[in-house]
Amino acid sequence: MSLSTETILHPTLDPFIGRTEALLARVFGTKWASGLCEFLVFGIKEAGACVFAGSFLFLLAISSHVSIPGIARYDFLFLGAIAIQLVLIVTRLETWREVAVLSMFHAIGMGLELFKTSPSVHSWSYPEYAFFRIYTVPLYSGFMYAAVASYMMQAWRLVDLKVRNFPPLWAAILISIAIYANFFTNHYIVDMRWPLATIVIIVFWRTRIDFTATTKVRTMPMTLSFVLVGFFIWIAENIATFFGGWVYPSQTTAWAIVGPNKITSWMLLVIISFIIVAALKQIFPKKA
């Protein structure tokens, strides 16, 4: 099975690529210029794919230093996330169909948040007041999960993502269900994250991702992409907790780095996100 999307190369990047490569050739020589230019453009596109997540982290950072009278900080983040989403729609960086998928991630995230922040589990908490909330969870938290899916949909277009040897969709869906269920059951029975990670490696062993930053098509194992995205989400999580987005029990007295064991949790969550986005691309292809 091959999953692909339409090629979308931002028109302003073409002259930028040529000028940048020529400039780098003067400094590093033609042998290195092409590779350095490709790496630079790839970084720019990845940053562009993080437009929602980056904007949200910016709001989180400034909200820890600036207060608006009459609006609680968590409510400001919720309203700000909605504003960011509307800007992405107006600028056509995201479509209403993609927003519907993001809403699914919002719901998935809220369900997980309600369980993890419940008094009986208390994996983390939101210590500040919020008017827009459900029980223990401020509504802005769901957008953090939606940001992961937003990145994937943006990156899918920007680097002309293609997936080869994708496993049967039913198998991918079963894995997603098992991973999501483990986030709940690991508090009562044995944590199955490592067996599930092993299954993921087996099922996606032959799956490859093809992507294009400039002109050359690059390839990587899909399982490696899961690990890399999970790692960068973990970095973003440390930034978010530093600015008080939420608090882990180990951070109640003073901020401390989030343990690297969370990388595996994010990696597994990334798998759910990718499978849903891949299903969107394959089952609901955009009509010409």
Mean pLDDT value across the chain? 84
What is the Cα–Cα distance from 173 to 54, expressed in whole angstroms? 29
Q: Strand, helix or coil at 210? A: strand
Angle between helices 96-116 and 169-185 (to 10 degrees): 30
Share of the chain above pLDDT 90, in %: 36
CA distance 127 to 83: 24
Task: List alpha helices for the chain, DSSP H.
Answer: 13-28, 30-49, 51-63, 73-90, 96-116, 141-158, 169-185, 193-203, 222-242, 262-283
Q: How confident is the model at residue 261 (pLDDT cuts 50, 70, 90)?
A: confident
- Classified as helix, coil or strand, 31 is helix
The rounded distance, in Å, linking the Cα atoms of 283 and 234 is 30
Structure tokens that stand for 194 in this block:
């490592």
pLDDT at residue 7, as a whole number: 39
Domains of the chain, by residue range, sit at 51-283
Q: 29 forms bridges with which residues in the sheet?
A: none
**More confidently predicted of 65 and 55:** 55
Give residue-wise pLDDT tens across range 152-205.
888 888 888 888 888 888 888 899 999 999 999 988 888 898 999 999 999 999
Q: Quickly state the pLDDT bin for 288 (edges 50, 70, 90).
A: very low
Q: Tell me, what's the pLDDT at 132?
A: 92
Res. 138: pLDDT tops 90: yes
- Rounded distance between C-alpha atoms, residue 273 and residue 279, angstroms: 10
pLDDT in tens, 109-129: 899 999 999 988 989 999 999
Q: Say which residue the tokens 């910016």 belong to.
A: 58
Q: Which band of pLDDT confidence, cut at 50, 70 and 90, is reported for residue 277? A: confident
